[in-house]
Amino acid sequence: MIPLSDAVIYDHLAGEHTIGVYPLLEDDTCYFLAADFDEADWRDDARAFMQSCEELGVPAALEISRSGNGAHAWVFFASRVSARDARRLATAIISHTCSRTRQLNLESYDRLFPNQDTMPKGGFGNLIALPLQKSPRESGCSVFVDADLQPYPNQWGFLASIQPMPVHAIEPTILRATGGVHPLDVTFIDDEDLATPWKRKSTATNKLAVQMPKSLTVTLANLVYFEKAQLPQALANRLIRLAAFQNPEFYKAQAMRMSVWDKPRVIGSAENYPQHIALPRGCLDAALDLLRDNGIACDLRDERFGGESIDISFVGSLRLDQESAVAGMLHHDTGVLCAPTAFGKTVTAAAMIARRGVNTLVLVHRTELLKQWQERLQAFLGVGKGVVGTIGGGKAKPTGKIDIAVMQSVSRQGEVNPLVENYGQVIVDECHHVGAVSFDAILKRTKAKYRLGLTATPIRRDGQQPIIFMQCGPIRYTAASPAGAPHDLEVLPRSRFTCIDLPTDAGIQDVFRYLANDQARTESIASEVRDAVGQGRKVLVLTERTEHLDAIKTELDGLLPVPFVLHGRMSKKQRSALVADLDALPPDAPRVLLSTGKLVGEGFDHPPLDTLVLAMPVSWKGTLQQYAGRLHREHACKADVRIIDFVDTGHPALLRMWDKRQAGYKAMGYRLGGNVAVTE
C-alpha cells in the first residue's frame, strides 16, 4: 500500500498501473460512498438506483466498471462524514428504489463502499478501483456515463460539474427516502427479542400509500406464491421484506471491529421466480395481514399435499399438559411446539401423528436420534418396523407411512431427495436447527399440508431464529415444565482465582486449552465428582475438549463405580453399548458419565442423572439449557437437581461467560447456592 500522490494518479491515468482506494479512514469517516452493481441485470439496477438519487436530490455519478459487466454509483461529500451516516444514506436510497422503482437484490446492501461503519482491527475495509483507467477507458469502460449508459464526451468536465453533497443534507435525505422508518426496513433482532423470538416486530406500518389491486391470487404449496403481474412495486417490496431480517452476526462483528466480509447484512428467504415471488410458508399469516390492511381480497388456492391416510392409533397415555399441547397444535396446520426438556415432545408428536392420520416424515439432525425416534413411535403407536422406517446412517428403509430421516441423508449439496414430497405431514425435531442450509432446502421443497416444529430452545446462537418461524410457522403452544419434573434446582459455584497468564492477543480457544491443561483445576473437578458419588448422586461431567475428558478420567482412576466415558472417537456401536450398560444400572445406584457436550447436548436421555459438573465454561444460554435439560427428566429416585459450576476469574472473557450463565440459570429457575472458593 502506497500513499496517494499526483504522481501515482498520473501513472494510473497513463496506464502504468491500476490503483484503488480504501474509502474508510482511521477515524471511521469517509469522503465518498459507492454502490456496486454486478448482477445479470446490473444495467436496470444501476439506472433504478440513479433514478432514486435524482428524485431525492442526491448528486451521484455512474461509472461503468473496468470489466464492462457492472457499474459503480458514486456519491461525493463536501467534507468528511461518518461512515455510518454514509452507509445509512446508501441503504435508504436502495430501500427507496425497492419500494418505488425496481426490486434490487437484498445483497445490494452488502455491495457498498465502505462496507462497514468502523475500521476493522488489522484491516482497512474494502477496496474500490478508481475510475478512468487507461486501458479499460479505451474500450468504453472505467468511465462515467449518462442515463442511457453512454460515456460523457468530456469526463473531466462532467466531474467538475458534480456538486459534492453537504453533510447537513444527509439526514433530511434519509428521512425523505424512508418516511421515518429504519433505512433497511427489515426486522432487527435485539436482546429483548430473545425472550420472545417468535414475536417479530413490524418495522413499518402495513398501510402502503399507493394504489392497490382489489384482489390477489395467492397459491399455497411448498411456498406461498404471488403473481408478479398483480403486484405494485411497493407491495412486492413489502412482501419480500416479510421474509427478511437483519443479520446479528454482521452487527456483532462490526461492533467488535472485525471484518464483515462474508457476513450478509440482511438475510432473506424469499424466492424470486420469473413470474412469481414466493415466501416461506410461515410468512402466510403476516402476508394475509398485509393484504387485509391494504384492503386487498385474497383468492387463496391450496396446492398443498394432504398425504395418504394411515390407519394407526395412539396406544400411549398423555398427561393433561401434553393433551393441552396436542389440542393447541391441532388447531393449526403449521407451527412450533415449544416445550422444555423432559416434557415429552416425542410422545406428543406420536399422538398428533395418530390424530391427523396422514403419512409423516420426521426430520432429525443426528443419526443417534433415528433409533430413539423409531423405538418410541413403535411403542406409542403400537406398530412394527413395517410402519416406521428410517433414512440415514448409511441405510435407507422408508415405508412411506411414518419415516424418520437424518436431514443430511435427504439433502446433500443443495440436492433434495424428491421423496420428501410424498408426505402429508413433516415434523422437525429440534427445529432451531432449521436455519441450516440443508433443513431450509428440505422445507422449501415439501408441499406437506402439516408442518410441526419441536424445540426446547427457539433461539439460535447466530441469532437467525426468524428462519425457524418462517419455515415452520409461529409458536402455537408453549408448555411449562411438567409437574413431575424436579423443581429443587440449585447451582453451586466453585470459584477459582488463579491468574491465567496468556498473551494479550490470545483467543478464547487458547484460554480453553489453558483450562484443560491446568492440572490443579482438573484435580478440583475430580474431587467434586468423588464427593457427589459419595452422596449417592448420579453425575454427568461435561467438557468441550476430548483431551480434557481424558485428563479427568485419569484423575478418577480407582473410583467406584467406574466412570462411563462417552466421546466422539467411539463408534456408533460402542456408544450404543455404553448407553445400554448405563440404562441397565439399578435406578438408585450412583454413577458417573464423562462426556463431551456435543454428544449429550440434545436427544440424550438418561432420567436418573441429577448432578451436572460443568468442567468447561459455556456462555450461550441455549447450550446451557440443553446441558441442564439432561437433569430435568422425571425419575422416582430424583429429589433435587444440582449443577456444580467452575467459575474461573483469572480472565475477563471467562468472567463475562459466568455473567451470561448466571442469567441463563435464573431464566431456568435455578437458585444460586453458596459460592465456595477452590484453594490450590
For 501-539, write each residue's pLDDT tens digit: 888 778 889 999 999 999 999 999 999 999 999 999 999
* Measured distance CA(411)–CA(213) in Å, rounded: 39
Which of 194-203, 533-542, 634-643 shows the lowest per-residue confidence on average (mean pLDDT)? 194-203
Mean local confidence (pLDDT), 590-610: 85
Mean local confidence (pLDDT), 254-283: 89
Q: What is the pLDDT of residues 325-345, one digit of tens each?
A: 999 999 999 999 999 877 889
Domain 6-178: assigned CATH number: 3.90.920
* Measured distance CA(260)–CA(168) in Å, rounded: 28
Q: Pick the closest to residue 620 from 498, 465, 516 (CA basis).
A: 465
Please give the mean pLDDT across all residues of the chain.
Answer: 90
Q: Where in the chain is the domain with CATH 3.30.780?
A: 191-302
Torsion of CA 50, 51, 56, 60, to 10 degrees: 20
Tell me what percent of the residues of the chain surpass a pLDDT of 90: 67
* Measured distance CA(520)–CA(496) in Å, rounded: 10
At 651, which amino acid appears? H
What would the 3-class secondary structure string for 11-78 be? Answer: HHHHCCCCCEECCCCCCCEEEEEEEEECCCCHHHHHHHHHHHHHHHCCCEEEEECCCCCCEEEEEEEE
Asked whether the beta carbons of 464 and 439 are under 8 A apart, the reply is no
Q: Is the pLDDT of residue 675 over 90?
A: no
Kindly list the distances between the CA atom of residue 414 and the CA atoms of 410, 437, 465, in Å, as whole numbers in the listed order.
10, 8, 21
- Confidence grade of residue 39 (pLDDT, cut at 50, 70, 90): confident
pLDDT at 374 (0 to 100): 94
pLDDT at 200 (0 to 100): 52
Query: What's the CATH fold of domain 320-478?
Result: Rossmann fold (3.40.50)
What are the grid coordinates assigned to 605, written together? 436421555
Asked whether the beta carbons of 107 and 264 are under 8 A apart, the reply is yes
Q: Where would I find the beta strands (DSSP E) of 270-350?
A: 271-272, 276-279, 297-302, 334-338
At 325, which amino acid appears? A
What are the grid coordinates assigned to 100, written together? 418505488
Asked whether the beta carbons of 561 and 533 are under 8 A apart, the reply is yes
- Confidence grade of residue 604 (pLDDT, cut at 50, 70, 90): confident
* Measured distance CA(69)–CA(47) in Å, rounded: 14
* Backbone CA torsion sign across 454, 457, 460, 464: positive
What are the grid coordinates assigned to 382, written together? 403400537
Please report where in the chains the cell 436427544 appears, as a residue. Answer: 603
Asked whether the beta carbons of 297 and 439 are under 8 A apart, the reply is no
Q: Is the pLDDT of residue 496 over 50?
A: yes
* Measured distance CA(672)–CA(75) in Å, rounded: 56
> Who contacts 393 (Cβ-Cβ below 8 Å, separation ≥6)?
367, 370, 406, 409, 572
* Measured distance CA(373)–CA(385) in Å, rounded: 12
Return the H-helix or E-strand segment holding 412: strand 411-412
Name the more confident of 207 and 380.
Answer: 380
Q: Pick the closest to residue 267 from 249, 252, 289 (CA basis).
A: 249
> Who contacts 464 (Cβ-Cβ below 8 Å, separation ≥6)?
245, 247, 248, 267, 435
Please report where in the chains the cell 423409531 appears, as a residue. Answer: 374
* Measured distance CA(72)–CA(144) in Å, rounded: 9
* Measured distance CA(336)–CA(128) in Å, rounded: 45
pLDDT at 355 (0 to 100): 97
Q: Pick the closest to residue 240 from 109, 87, 420 (CA basis).
A: 109
Name the percent of the chain in helix, strand, coil, to the closest 5. 35, 20, 40
Q: Is the pLDDT of residue 680 over 80?
A: no
pLDDT at 511 (0 to 100): 92
* Measured distance CA(92)–CA(209) in Å, rounded: 18
Q: Where in the chain is the domain with CATH 3.40.50.300?
A: 320-478, 489-677
What does the DSSP 8-state code read for residue 675? P
Which of 125-129, 259-263, 659-663 shows the lowest per-residue confidence on average (mean pLDDT)? 259-263
Q: Is the pLDDT of residue 193 over 60?
A: no
pLDDT at 271 (0 to 100): 93
| Residue 285 CB coordination number (10 Å) | 14
Please report where in the chains the cell 394475509 appears, as a residue. Answer: 288
- Confidence grade of residue 434 (pLDDT, cut at 50, 70, 90): confident
Q: Name the β-bridge partners of 217.
A: 299
Mean local confidence (pLDDT), 264-286: 92
Q: Is the pLDDT of residue 632 over 80?
A: yes
**Helix ranges restricted to H, 63-154:** 83-100, 134-137
Whether omega before 172 lies within 30 degrees of 0, making that bond cis, reads: no
Name the more confident of 482 and 351.
Answer: 351
Q: Where in the chain is the domain with CATH 3.90.920?
A: 6-178
- Confidence grade of residue 192 (pLDDT, cut at 50, 70, 90): very low
Q: What is the pLDDT of residues 413-432, one digit of tens each?
A: 779 999 999 999 999 998 98
At 447, which amino acid appears? K
Beta strands 388-392; 450-455: pairing state: unpaired
Q: Pick the closest to residue 74 from 107, 37, 38, 26 (CA basis).
A: 37
Beta strands 276-279; 676-677: pairing state: unpaired
What does the DSSP 8-state code read for residue 611? E
Asked whether the beta carbons of 261 and 114 are under 8 A apart, the reply is no
Asked whether the beta carbons of 290 and 238 are under 8 A apart, the reply is yes
Domain 191-302: assigned CATH number: 3.30.780
Q: Name the β-bridge partners of 412.
A: 415
Torsion of CA 616, 618, 622, 626, to 10 degrees: 10
At 88, which amino acid appears? R
* Measured distance CA(350)–CA(531) in Å, rounded: 41
Q: Is the pLDDT of residue 670 over 50?
A: yes
Name the more confident of 114 and 484.
Answer: 114
* Measured distance CA(231)–CA(275) in Å, rounded: 11
Which of 78-87, 354-363, 499-508, 613-622 shows the lowest per-residue confidence on average (mean pLDDT)? 499-508
- Confidence grade of residue 676 (pLDDT, cut at 50, 70, 90): low
Note the maximum CA span of the chain: 91
Mean local confidence (pLDDT), 358-382: 93
pLDDT at 198 (0 to 100): 47
pLDDT at 639 (0 to 100): 79
pLDDT at 603 (0 to 100): 61
* Backbone CA torsion sign across 324, 325, 330, 331: positive
Whether omega before 153 lies within 30 degrees of 0, making that bond cis, reads: no
Q: What is the pLDDT of residues 552-581, one digit of tens each?
A: 999 999 999 999 999 888 888 888 899 889
Domain 489-677: assigned CATH number: 3.40.50.300
> Who contacts 505 (Cβ-Cβ below 8 Å, separation ≥6)?
none
